[in-house]
Chains A and B, each alone.
Chain A
Amino acid sequence: MTTPTSGDPSSAAPAAADSPSAAARVPVIETVALTKHFPVRGRGSRGKVVHAVEGVDLRLDAGSVVALVGESGSGKSTVARLIAQLLPRTSGDVLLQGSSVRVRLGRSFRRYVRNVQMILQDPFASLNPVHTVGYVLTRSVSIHNPGLSRAERDQKVRGLLEQVELRPAERYLAKFPHELSGGQRQRVAIARALGATPKALLADEPVSMLDVSIRIGVLNLLQRLKSDLDLAILYITHDIASARYFADETVVMYAGQVIERGPSEEVTQRPRHPYTQLLIASAPDADQLAGREERPAKGEPPSLIDPPTGCRFNPRCPFAMDVCRQERPPMFELEDGQKAACWLYDEGRAEERAAAFGAGVAAGITNGVAVA
């Protein structure tokens, strides 16, 4: 339990394993200190802003999945919208294959979305009910691939349907969205995104609205597309168990900031940040019926208009020290590529930590095994 072996076969992500040069390659999408503040409207709120996203660094590589996990209101969807250029960012940068992008409309926007496509949560709302599947996909193909002949275009549309496992394609071309089940609709939405032959997919809760029995099917499809097409996928979810199943890397957000990141297996099996520990302890788990302890952290996420000083989790954190109320913690590097923004991991504060909780508890926290 103390040192996880890096050779653990279950944690080795296949895509990352067979591309040792991944680190040297230019990431498909990179965000640097991405920040978004929304102005607050209304009386008495002049100059106030909602600190929706602050200083988020992400790196999406071809052929890998990064999961962005957090509660509603943690800013995870805003990050996707910023990357998709649907919202202008306040500061920070979004890089597409190494070059900074800031587009709003017109041709430059269209050129950008050819590379970066989004899949939305609700396929009941994201497909126009008055158009057939064939029309929706043909539009996508002809917009993003100008100059194709009609035969080539039709062939590509059929290919898209085959790719998302809607076979035989002919059966689906003339269908309207209401004739399809939720899972089939989400597959059409994925096919539409693939019509642009993108390099990156931003999937914002792609399975949350689907029936439980078909969610895994859609995730498995995305997994296969990722390896077949060498896609970089940002998977936004509130379900950390599905992040473990599907993503190579997991990034946990709380109140607009990244608080922990690392390989999915490490983050879910040995959560370091007290919030991640709380999140994992709260998830329903039938195997842990007997060993469930009292939850130490109560309360609710903070207001983002007037966030707490220091660490934003400090009002709810059972381990909060003085420094947590004063200074925002930086990302501390831990073993196995895991990082946590928590003062508990500051080597210079081992004594303070031990004094506050006793040496035993402090060791338990850092091993990610004990919550209180």
Chain B
Amino acid sequence: MTLLDAAAAATPPRERKPVLEIRDLSVDYGYDQNAVHALQGVDLTLHAGEVLGLAGESGCGKSTLAYAATRLLPPPGVITGGSVTFTSARDGHGGDLLRMNDAELRAQRWRDTAIVFQGAMNSLNPVYTVGRQLVDGILAHKPRTRDAREQARARALELLEMVGIPKDRLGSYPHQLSGGMRQRVMIAMALALEPEIVIMDEPTTALDVVMQRQIVEQIMQLKDELGFSVIFITHDVSLLLELADRIAIMYAGRIVEDASSEEVYKMPRHPYTAGLLHSFPPLRGPKRDLAGIPGSPPDLVNLPTGCKFHPRCPYAFDECKLTDPALGPTRFGAAEPERQVACLLNDERVAPGPIPLELGVRPEGDRIA
């Protein structure tokens, strides 16, 4: 733990400023009555300087959430409701991204919110050098002065150096770089205009663990230096536990649990979170038998009634088939003000009994019902 980390931990989380507030965001794929509800009423807040992890299985809507929040959603994706409010932590400018006109949006993108896309191989243009792609992006957002191009070039060199790529690679084409270097170029591009929010959509999925480690450490180092906030999307919960301050777990287009990463790891409250944590064989410590989660991830076209997880949930009771739980406080209420969970076990009015032991672990190590 460095001093910086300790200072950050000491700041009460309540005082941190939200930079991105997603409220009641819903997304459909398709227009008619056969539309697939990919996201339903998602609430999520990103605070300044925070790393927010978004985890879930493929098809749970985590990428859809990122693209909807930045209005990059390709058709047939349709945002059917909600708001995404950006508030600059630096000078307070901002507004609802979903209600901005094209010009506002174009100015906002990249300057305030940048995205590192999944698969750097496909995100860089193969027929231009990486230098040109960097410079183009910078120029599009800078006033057209006489020496703008030189300045942008200098900035591009600076960026490459920042992500640990030798300067002479500015004239390289993407195919001349390795996968890890391409991913670094993508990160450099995202940081070109010093955005306040960087959304990373599985930035390390295509890389090997050794390269993944290098990239992740680089991201964290840059974050400390430049002070941006990160939404980090991945299916690898163990990676998130290491780097995220807070983790939101998604299932079938909803957030089912939202808590600090340590709490998610040590004291999961949602049965799906608990199951997900038991799906990764540990590299160290005692070997144990793992079961994963029975059944398959749900088909969004044909979602179950009530809680979407109930067919796979070992703790499901009758009410789970009828009521779709909303994201709300845990059963420990005031003792866990920063946590939210969407599970009927946490609703005393309907829960059949005490919380199962595995889902009721408390910080002191006691298990309270």
Contact = CB atoms under 8 A, between A and B. Distances in A.
A284 B243 CA distance: 10
B180 interface: yes
Contacts of A211: 57-59, 235, 296-297
A357 interface: no
Nearest to A209: B58
B290 interface: yes
A286 B186 CA distance: 27
B129 interface: no
B1 interface: yes
A215 B275 CA distance: 12
A213 B275 contact: yes
Interface in A232-259: 238, 240-242, 244-246
A283 interface: yes
B287 interface: yes
B277 to A, nearest CB: 9
Interface in A255-309: 265, 268-269, 278-290, 295, 297-298, 300
A182 B298 CA distance: 11
Contacts of A288: 284
A10 interface: yes
A212 B240 CA distance: 14
A50 to B, nearest CB: 16
A245 B237 CA distance: 18
B241 interface: yes
B297 to A, nearest CB: 5
B245 interface: no
B286 interface: yes
Nearest to B261: A286
Contact of A212 (B180, B210, B279): B279
Which of A11, A71, A214, A215 is the most central at the interface, judged by chain B CB atoms within 10 Å of its CB? A214
Interface in A211-232: 211-217, 220
Contact of A214 (B282, B283, B284, B296): B296
Contacts of A215: 279, 292
Contact of A282 (B213, B282, B290, B293): B213
B12 interface: no
B178 interface: yes
B293 A213 contact: yes
A300 B180 contact: yes
Contacts of B275: 213
Given A211-B58, A241-B281, A72 B208 contact: yes
B281 A242 contact: yes
A214 B293 contact: yes
A45 B297 CA distance: 48
Given A212-B235, A282-B210, A289-B242, A241 B296 contact: no
B283 A278 contact: no
A240 B208 CA distance: 11
B285 to A, nearest CB: 6
A285 B283 contact: yes
Contacts of B291: 216-217, 220
A278 B241 contact: no
A213 B287 contact: no
Contacts of A300: 178, 180, 211
A85 interface: no
B265 interface: yes
A263 B263 CA distance: 34
Contacts of B282: 241, 285, 287
A184 interface: yes
Contacts of B265: 286
Given A212-B279, A245-B290, A288-B284, 12 more contacts: A181-B296, A213-B57, A213-B297, A214-B292, A216-B278, A216-B290, A220-B292, A238-B209, A265-B287, A279-B209, A284-B212, A287-B285
20 contacts: A11-B287, A181-B299, A211-B59, A211-B296, A212-B57, A212-B235, A212-B237, A213-B276, A216-B278, A216-B281, A216-B291, A220-B292, A240-B283, A241-B283, A279-B210, A280-B283, A284-B212, A284-B242, A285-B242, A300-B211
Interface of A: 10-11, 71-72, 181-184, 211-217, 220, 238, 240-242, 244-246, 265, 268-269, 278-290, 295, 297-298, 300
